[in-house]
Structure 1
Amino acid sequence: MATPSPDTLFGLTLHGRYVLGQRVRSGPSGTVHTAHDLTVDHLVMVTVMHPESVADPGLVHAFDSRVQTLESVTHPGLARTLGHGRDGDHVYAVTEYERGESLASVLTDGDAALRYSPGTALTIVADVLAALDALHQAGIVHGGIEADHVLLDDEGRVTVTGLPLIADAAAGGEPDTSEDVHAVGRLLHTLITGVGTVPDEGPLRPSAAVDGVPSDVDMLVANATDPTPRYRPRDAAKYLTMVEQVTRSLPRVDGDGDPADTRPIPVVGAQTQDRTQARPRVGAASALTSAFRSGRAAGPASGRAPGRGSDGTPPWRRVPVLVSAAALAVVLLSVVGWAALAPDDTVEVPDVTGSAPAEAESVLRGLGVDLVVRRDEAYDDDVESGAVAATEPAAGTEVETGDQVTLVVSIGARSVEVPDVAGGTESEARTVLREAGFTDIEVVQEHSAEEAPGTVLSTKPAAGEQGDREEPVVVSVSEGVVAPSLIGTDQADAVALLDDAGLAAQIVEAPHDDVVVGEVFGQDPEPGSILPEDANVSITVSTGPEEPEVEESATEDDEEDRDTDRDENTDEERDRDRDDDDDDRDGGRGDAGASCSGEAWHPNTQYDTGDRVHYQGREYEARWWVEGAHHRPGDGGDWGPWADLGPC
């Protein structure tokens, strides 16, 4: 698809609010730009549809639908979708500003390819999968996860970007979450090996490129990169469970590194330097000058020079360049103009404690001076989660035009009661603890003569005690037999491994286009599962490529065709009868004795742009691709897929 030249949209202002800066990337959805939101004085990202896409009403509808869905999806690993609109010929969507450095950039240091230890790679991939899980629950498939679309910011947070805003569903297809799993499996392979992959490769095994990769990690990558979708984990949630299980099984070592690694790993030994954040009282112009200084986005000063520091600071901690010097000039000139016209009033910061952040922002912006309002989060024992706990500067402090006021939003008390999860499964315990605010959960096994393997016995801190949300909660689970990893072994070896572990094998045979006959390509329960002794483990063994289906006899096919023709003729006769009745009711409107020519609308037919049909005495033309069962002519009025051409 053709894309606009780099200078076409640079400096454009949409709806008098969003000043477009440098183009960051281009894709099927459109071009993505950094932008300055003049209303709230924030940096944002704006995706502008390609002009040829705007000319297609179906694509515009798909774009709007996708953005509306994304506006309801909230996850720390996704840039929040803030809104969308149309300004003349430009259809656009606005998201939060993307901070950080892409994994593709982090993994390249000059001519040297870098890689991560398996433990660190699994940690990154788990965060990616958690973000994708939020999308999958909303019925959205990313469809293009690559190292370029995963950002690591200065605090090590992972953000997934590059989500297409024109979904495959616009063409009538159903989303396939296993495609995202396949892409994450390829990403995991690259993180561990430093070697890129191509979409059709698989199954991949990192051990083929790097010595010492644990077999369970090899299994994770091979399962996700299986060429046949039905043999992969079905979605991000399923794969995330497998990743967490394997992560727990890895041996613990001092520090972040893996002793088996021999090539540079950008995160080993990385120490975050102390940072201080100054809070000067500055005007709007000087605030943005500071924000864009040295081409960097606004944020706490780190005191570090570009590049990896002598203390091992990883390259992901560098903040990316926001805009070019020309973009800087456009924004600064507009801000300086506002500063000159702004009133020189001084007001006191009001007390907005306990109110919702949006309400507090509205109060601050209604003071009659241009304040830079930002948000931060902090624990608070007295203010409920999601409400404003304090302001910086505090209530009663005098501020003037251009000053910054930070709304400190409560994330609840730091110490909360540990819920009782004993008697449930490990998965159920994780869910309940996360809902209570605990994010660091460790699982250990203990012997129990009373409880079945995999049953939660207790927690530390114990149920009912106060737990620090910054500290781990240790979940004790009844020990049992850990299911070994059998993927990639032949049937005889898999049966022997299960027998050695005290487990029984159940053989299931199935065809597979890429796995040799007799090799195991699936197992249930998954590797790492805790099972009682003598439990059954189902292993799926390849019987080779699937045999082509045998066609039914010609006699049966002919009979079915005749039945179908009779059904279609009956439907068309019903439509003609209804049309004749409608014409009678119309009292002869139109040409006397005339009938509707062409094809009658049918609910089981798919229509392309420009196709004409008649329905209930009127003629219609399809504005875009439409499936009859979903859109009846006349539905939707001027905004529907059918244009009413009048009576016939």
Structure 2
Amino acid sequence: MQEHVSDPVVGTLVDNRYAVISRLARGGMSTVYLAVDERLDREVALKVLHPHLAADDNFLGRLGREAKAAARLSHPHVVGVLDQGNDGNTAYLVMEYIKGHTLRDVLRDRGALPPRLALALIDPVVEGLGAAHAAGFIHRDVKPENVLIADDGRIKIGDFGLARAVTSSTSTGALIGTVAYISPELVLGKPADARSDVYSVGIMLYEMLTGRQPFEGEVPVQVAYQHVNGRVGPPSDLVPHLAGEVDELVQWCTANDPENRPVDGNALLQELRHIRTNLTDAELDLQPPAAATAASQHQTEVLARASNPTTFMPPSRPAAPAYPPGEHPQAHGHAGQGPAATTHVPYPLRPGLTLPDDDEADSGWSPPPPRLGKRAQRRADRESEKHRALAAATPVRTLREGNPRRRGFLWVLVLIIAALLATGAGWFFGMGPGAAAAVPAVANKTVVQAQQLLSGVGFRSTTSDVFDDEVPTGLVVGSEPAAGTEIRKFQPVSLLVSKGPQLFPLPILTGGTLAEAKGALNAAEMALGTATEQFDEEAAAGTVLSQDPAAGTPARHGTPVAIVVSKGPQPIPVPSVVGKAENDAVAAVEKAGLTAEVAPDEVFDRNVPEGAVVTQSPANGTLTRGGTVTLTISKGPRMVDVPSYIGKQASEARKALEALGFQVRVNNILGGFFGTVRDQSPVNREVPEGSIITITVV
């Protein structure tokens, strides 16, 4: 669900690429926004780190390497890391946007879940972790908030890499917000591995089945203490009739000793699916009792009120429950039922277990051992063998027996050996390979220089190649563990050596349209450089004529590519050739780069001499090279027979001559009093249309 709040980041454009639409959530390390990647036109989740993390250069360098590594992890149940960068004081991660909700929302809305639903929801989480573990990644912060459930049902786990970068660059208090799911070895500051993620999955599965977390306290240190010194109980304590295989699965994952847990997510996935396949429908569809959830919430409130917020008291074992006369659970036919069980038993009893009567307790009675599953039985057998081997190796006679002088010699020998061991341990952990030292800064140094720095401190080193956009090829990008981290000298330090920027071939842009070129560049995560237009006689307007760099050239993401785009054929102005002789007109048209075409039919024209151009089409405007101009040639004026109008009235003669297309000139004699045509010139012969006819009028 999107959070509609006032936020200065909302509405901005981060790194000139990511348009922030709204704020989605805020956590202890970052704020997550819904943004649009304007380069690729897609919605993304933009995680903007809080300022105190963004100001730490060492952290930013490590975050960049972790983000690059996580970006190479591609799995249907892992949220993809798309980009990482800095924009001024803003450090950000860009991740795949999953529209939906989190597992925390499901637990908040529904509380405890039936085993079928809980196992179905945890399955893709474990599958994603298994793929990550196989690729060498450890999550370190598995919790319901990081399990994303899309609206279409897809389940993904997110935030790979961020937790590791934070824990490596800050104090252990940085993980205090997720202490409910932290493994004991992380609380003790020991290195994490795949089994640490398995522990967190076990805690999360316990919460899904029971509706509550196994360890609770008013301050985080109380919960952390219980992770190290306590033991996660079986979920069936709160959910009666829960299958024993599910209890064993949870307790296998949450064993205090990592050696007793599944080795990684893939090992856990196999057992998880085996259990889902073999449980009956009744066991899978078991509904968690609302009363148990309510009782657990009430108990949490009572413990919280009783605890001292400033002084931590380790959890003590609950006192044995007392039952009023006649209210023993067996009196109601079922263990854990009836008023006595509800009122006096702090945790619901598991079905089939009863408490002894006082007489039985006094006589040394003990309840029969609970039925074990196959895996639990195998573990019990292994423990029994270990105890038998330990017992066999323990001497049954003491040093007190025998000769006192011999006993004294043995004591002296023991003291000497103890002194030598203490001296050796002191040297080993003080000055020898077991001494702690800080990893020196090796960034931007050659491999030889970095190895000399490490060996000078006492570290041995290995190398691995990585891509890096900033550090030149052959120089060291950084180290693992990072510079400044204190480790024992016998622990290896891996040097990350730059292979230079990762290069990708540029796509083919020529021959396509400008829109197609933009799409190809976006898909290849390249940038559009300068776009220049020019005329081209063959390529249509909008066609890409050339690109620089050329297609196939290796380049890093974001490289700008300049292109030349066709404006189409160059337009040519049509010359005006009306009135010119035919040959001259044709030459003028062809000189302009156009084609002259003479119309087959000539026309009479009184104003244009014979052989000259009367009209042209088009008369003006522009054409492309080779365009056609049609020319119409004049036959000159038409020849018309001039009739005689001598003796006719001047007005009648004038009208008739003008109707024939002639011009009439009147020459009056004696003022043309009678209005009669006395003479006419020319007369009774053919003359060109439009000629002047002179009439003499008396």
Name the structure where helix makes up a greater proportion of residues.
2
TM-score (norm 1): 0.42
Q: Which has the larger radius of gyration?
A: 2
Larger relative contact order (CA 8 Å, sep ≥ 6):
1
TM-score (norm 2): 0.40
